[in-house]
């Protein structure tokens, strides 16, 4: 047992004390003034379209008072559909809610965990994490209040678990609680989480912006099937963060005012936040970098040369950093034929397979036809890398078994020929068992993504696959409206494309998205993490091994094995290892992009450069 404890401490230390791979934040800014901060950052000064130099500059943060500043303005081109990450699968809802509802702990930009509502991070060393790996005990900070003035207690934490683990709730983050057997309130501030089996990595529940604490008093009538009807609660959640929602228009805008009961009496500096949603990524970038209308814009999927030109205006900075975000194509393993009615894209215990994507030869040929380098240079030059892996970073977790993955059009054709998937009627489209290889390929509306679609459609045509392209407004595509047929979770097409990554360095939760129990469908309001509807007991067994393993080196090897399973079975087709790219106004001090957690992770510390 002593050896196991030492091995596990190495794992816990890698998360709590130091990142596996510290992230360097790159800031693209045209500046003439000297700026400051208590930490050093890298600032890339744009000289021409082709030449850059890097220098270290500093900023000085001035002591401020709560509400001293004016209104912050945000432009998120992917507008939020609610302010409740448990009832939406989109990052946009997680970001929107991050300044209102908070977790026990977060990750900083280096991937290190730090306490938020908790007094400290429980570890083996301080006794908070049990030596038998069967429980972890968290203690809330004293004096925490909800924005309505009532105390935060252990009952709220336990209720959050009960809300999300109820299968009828349709909680999008239920996999974070899959290892938990029960929770108990030791006292009003102490929560003991008991695990069903030894759990070497206990930092899944209530960590990062994906798993915040919600107020029991507000949500207790919204558990189970009632959750979907709790719109007022999901539009204006009562929270502990620096701001609270005062006005919310779904898929349009959010107005936040200062939480009068926020735990730091001198923060936040800015008096309010107005978030405008909609438009496109170029408009969001322009609002920060060129016109100065906005202080912050997120997820700037804009052609690199366009972004660099905008930065020359000198109104703002582009920050980027890489963690685990992957732009990928997801394969639908079920039949999305509209004629199936309620059974469309439903797994049905494996009895509703896709008519030709269930054939690995077709999936492999689609992957072989793609030129990942061309795509990445087009859409993410300078901030992205072509990749062959589902887990693209940090390096210690990255498999080399799938490299290289160059484009091979002729090889893809030969593979399909050998499999007997050929064009029998001369129309240029191959058939499998008499069914033409015609695909519908969907993603969100965005110039870079439409560029990716155009390239891929052409390459697939070269191997005899016809592709219909669809793009959907991001607010709808990544939204939580169960009545909409166009969400990525419904997946009513053959293939689709989007980006996601791990919350912090918890790869077990990321990889659990492909287990049989997490298949997305009507049973969970299409909020299940397993969007491709893939089910393989071998994969589930590998994940169980990862969840039970305490040795860091062995965990890394298991992550690689799970990655290889997904890649070599062509469950997902990785395209680009993306950096997070966002824009910050020059008038804002303290904004630091965070690829491991919410980019608004330290908004309470933001101040204005004018003082």
Check pLDDT > 50 for residue 80: yes
Peptide bond into 404 cis (omega under 30): yes
- Per residue in 240-261, pLDDT tens? 999 999 999 999 999 999 999 9
Check pLDDT > 90 for residue 283: yes
* DSSP labels, 388-415: S-SS--SGGG--STT------HHHHHHH
pLDDT band at 31 (very low <50, low <70, confident <90, very high): very low
- Token pair belonging to 57: 């500059």
Q: What's the pLDDT at 2? A: 34
- Please name the residue that has the structure tokens 């966002």: 582
CB 191 within 8 A of CB 184: yes
Half-sphere exposure of 475 (CA within 13 A, CB side): 18
Closest CA to 378 of 447, 319, 324: 447
Domain count along the chain? 1
- Token pair belonging to 178: 């899959």
Over residues 193-200, mean pLDDT: 95
Residue 530 domain-assigned (yes or no) = no
Q: What's the pLDDT at 4? A: 35
Residue 90 domain-assigned (yes or no) = yes
Would the pTM count as exceeding 0.95? Answer: no
In terms of Cβ atoms closer than 10 Å to its own Cβ (0-12, 13-18, 19+), residue 38 is exposed
CB 277 within 8 A of CB 79: yes
- Per residue in 43-72, pLDDT tens? 322 222 323 333 333 444 456 799 999 999
Q: What's the pLDDT at 30? A: 32
Residue 293 domain-assigned (yes or no) = yes
Other C-beta atoms closer than 10 Å to the C-beta of 100 total 23
DSSP state of 522: G
CB 489 within 8 A of CB 527: yes
Compute the distance between CA of residue 448 and CA of residue 344 in angstroms, rounded to an integer: 29
At residue 115, φ and ψ (nearest 5 deg) are: -70, 145
Residue 392 domain-assigned (yes or no) = no
Residue 347 domain-assigned (yes or no) = no
CB 316 within 8 A of CB 29: yes
* DSSP labels, 335-367: ---GGGGGGTT--GGGTSB-TTTTSHHHHHHHH
Residue 577 domain-assigned (yes or no) = no
Range of the domain at 140: 64-319+597-608
Check pLDDT > 70 for residue 25: no
In the three-class reduction of DSSP (H, G, I as helix; E, B as strand; rest coil), residue 79 is classed as coil
- Token pair belonging to 50: 């082709």
Residue 308 domain-assigned (yes or no) = yes
CB 380 within 8 A of CB 26: no
CB 505 within 8 A of CB 15: yes
What CATH number corresponds to the domain at position 242? Answer: 3.40.190.10
Residue 129 domain-assigned (yes or no) = yes
């Amino acid at each position: 047992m002593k050896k196991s404890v030492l091995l596990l401490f190495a794992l816990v230390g890698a998360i709590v004390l130091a990142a596996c791979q510290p992230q360097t934040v790159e800031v693209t800014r045209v500046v003439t003034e000297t700026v400051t901060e208590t930490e050093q950052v890298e600032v890339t000064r744009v000289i021409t379209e082709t030449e850059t130099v890097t220098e270290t500059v500093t900023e000085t943060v001035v002591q401020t008072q709560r509400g001293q500043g004016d209104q912050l303005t945000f432009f998120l081109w992917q507008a939020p559909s609610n302010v409740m990450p448990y009832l939406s699968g989109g990052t946009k809802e997680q970001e929107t809610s991050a300044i209102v509802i908070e977790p026990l702990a977060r990750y900083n930009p280096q991937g290190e965990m730090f306490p938020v509502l908790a007094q400290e991070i429980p570890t083996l060393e301080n006794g908070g994490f049990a030596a038998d790996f069967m429980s972890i005990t968290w203690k809330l900070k004293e004096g925490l209040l909800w924005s309505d003035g009532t105390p935060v207690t252990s009952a709220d934490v336990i209720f959050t678990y009960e809300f999300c683990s109820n299968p009828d709730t349709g909680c999008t983050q239920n996999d974070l609680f899959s290892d938990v057997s029960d929770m108990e309130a030791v006292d009003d501030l102490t929560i003991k989480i008991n695990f069903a089996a030894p759990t070497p990595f206990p930092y899944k529940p209530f960590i990062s912006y994906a798993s915040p604490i919600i107020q029991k008093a507000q949500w207790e009538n919204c558990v189970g099937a009632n959750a979907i009807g709790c719109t007022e609660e999901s539009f204006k959640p009562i929270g502990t963060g620096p701001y609270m929602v005062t006005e919310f228009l779904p898929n349009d805008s959010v107005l936040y005012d200062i939480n009068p009961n926020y735990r730091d009496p001198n923060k936040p500096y800015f008096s309010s936040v107005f978030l405008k949603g909609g438009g496109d990524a170029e408009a969001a970038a322009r609002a920060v970098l060129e016109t100065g209308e906005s202080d912050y814009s997120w997820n700037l999927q804009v052609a690199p040369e366009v972004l660099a030109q905008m930065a020359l205006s000198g109104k703002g900075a582009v920050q980027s950093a890489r963690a685990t975000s992957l732009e990928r194509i997801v394969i639908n393993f079920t039949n999305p034929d509209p004629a199936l009615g309620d059974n469309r894209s439903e797994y049905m215990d494996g009895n509703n397979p896709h008519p030709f994507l269930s054939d690995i030869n077709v999936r492999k040929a689609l992957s072989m036809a793609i030129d990942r380098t061309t795509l990445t240079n087009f859409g993410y030059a300078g901030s992205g890398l072509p990749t062959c892996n589902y887990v693209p970073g940090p390096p210690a977790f990255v498999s080399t078994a799938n490299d290289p993955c160059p484009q091979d059009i002729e090889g893809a054709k030969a593979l399909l020929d050998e499999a007997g998937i050929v064009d029998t009627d001369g129309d240029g489209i191959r058939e499998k068992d008499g069914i033409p290889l015609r695909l519908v390929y969907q993603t969100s509306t965005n110039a870079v993504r439409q560029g990716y679609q155009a390239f891929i459609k052409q390459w697939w045509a070269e191997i005899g696959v016809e592709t219909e392209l669809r793009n959907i407004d991001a607010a709808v595509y990544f939204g939580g409206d169960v009545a909409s047929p166009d969400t990525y979770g419904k997946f009513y097409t053959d293939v689709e494309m989007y980006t996601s990554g791990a919350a912090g360095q918890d790869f077990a939760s990321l990889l659990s998205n492909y287990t049989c129990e997490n298949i997305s469908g009507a049973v969970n309001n299409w909020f299940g993490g397993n969007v491709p509807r893939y089910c393989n007991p071998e994969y589930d067994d590998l994940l169980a091994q990862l969840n039970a393993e305490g040795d860091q080196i062995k965990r890394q090897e298991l992550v690689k094995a799970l990655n290889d399973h997904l890649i070599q079975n062509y469950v997902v087709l990785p395209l680009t290892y993306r950096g997070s790219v966002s824009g910050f106004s020059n008038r804002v001090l303290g904004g630091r992009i965070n690829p491991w957690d919410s980019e608004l992770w330290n908004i309470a510390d933001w101040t204005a450069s004018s003082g």
